[in-house]
Structure 1
């Protein structure tokens, strides 16, 4: 049993959690070492059980599974993290990729795919895998190709990434405050954003920002 993969399951749906535990227990090379149904207990369970892989639901009853995943990744760089979701939107997939999880699996996926994701996470925690990733990247590239930012809008985006306020952006670009507000508003509109964080995350998902970022509040 020393070579088996230790798994902790964190899912707020009792039947889903029971099903995952049963599925994992049926595999000779995988064993359950801990489980819970909420974000509040997740950290303690993982600390006590020291799993090789945690299987985590995106939508926990008391918190955001992606936020929990980020905390795990920051605290345990070698921990395999398999994110389960009922949502198949590209936006959720890219958020998972940005969070640093090991695998992203839909809850309707075949059992073999779930087990394969756990095995992948156990040996390649820092390598992201997801069914449909190539198609999602293709859709993102198509959207990005149709989205054209003017040189001014690209400059505004860069300044927003740097955390500058609208008045400071105006000074940096040598334009009036109202003109700077107009530039920012147009950029938000193109990115479908309502604030700075949404604009930056949208630009990141569209490939308009190349590196990983700490998004300003």
Structure 2
């Protein structure tokens, strides 16, 4: 008998975790094809849960939200890839594929799923990742093709600059961003200055307009 695909869900919203468990359970007919073996609500907790599962051997796929508290999903993705490179990580988000899919896959994700994806897509992605493949939806494929043909200013941002950019365009202050990312306000201000230079924006208002024009604004979570 084929062992079940063991999934860890990292999301700070209980209703999302419960919904994912129901979807995975329903489409596997409640059978042991896919089993949610662990859950986590914060970035550090995801890493702790994976470590507790025999260094990743007790989990086959991680479903990881980008907007996690304490340590965001992109940071956690990089930490998991460094510690357990063979462990597939599927990124989950409310953000559209054009905003994050390319960045996630470049960082080593096994795929990118919008939380509005249908149940069949969710299960297909888990199966593909567990088999060692990369799940690419039609929207993600389009985003990848666009990235190959043109690199936008935001694609030129470093990982940390992109984090600050996302939070700035979501309306967070420098002090709020510093608290969320564990950075001193002066450091956040330095990142902000670099972002303004790379995007050509003169201030936060122009940065927000830039984000809107290029489909890069970060929706509320």
Band of TM-score, shorter chain: 0.5 to 0.7
Picking from 18, 41, 44, the partner of 2:48 is 44
In structure 1, C-alpha distance between the alignment counterparts of 2:109 and 2:4, rounded to whole Å: 21
Residues 43 and 68, structure 2, Cα contact 8 Å, conserved in 1: yes
Q: Which runs of 4+ in 1 moved over 4 A?
A: none
TM-score under structure 1 length normalisation: 0.62
Q: Deviations over 1:151-182 (max 9, x none)?
A: xxxxxxxxxxxxxxxxxxxxxxxxxxxxxxxx
Counterpart for residue 63 of structure 2 = 55
Cα displacement (A) at 1:136: 1.4
In structure 2, C-alpha distance between the alignment counterparts of 1:66 and 1:107, rounded to whole Å: 16
Counterpart for residue 117 of structure 1 = 125
Counterpart for residue 96 of structure 2 = 88
Cα displacement (A) at 1:89: 4.9
Cα 1:136/1:33, change in 2 over 3 Å: same
Runs of 5+ consecutive residues of structure 2 not aligned to the other structure: 154-195, 202-221
SS at match of 2:126: helix
TM-score under structure 2 length normalisation: 0.61
Cα displacement (A) at 1:36: 1.3
- Equivalent pairs, count: 152
Counterpart for residue 188 of structure 2 = none
Residues 6 and 36, structure 2, Cα contact 8 Å, conserved in 1: yes
Cα displacement (A) at 1:25: 2.5
Cα displacement (A) at 1:47: 1.8
Picking from 127, 139, 144, the partner of 1:137 is 144
Runs of 5+ consecutive residues of structure 1 not aligned to the other structure: 148-187, 195-217
In structure 2, C-alpha distance between the alignment counterparts of 1:32 and 1:141, rounded to whole Å: 35
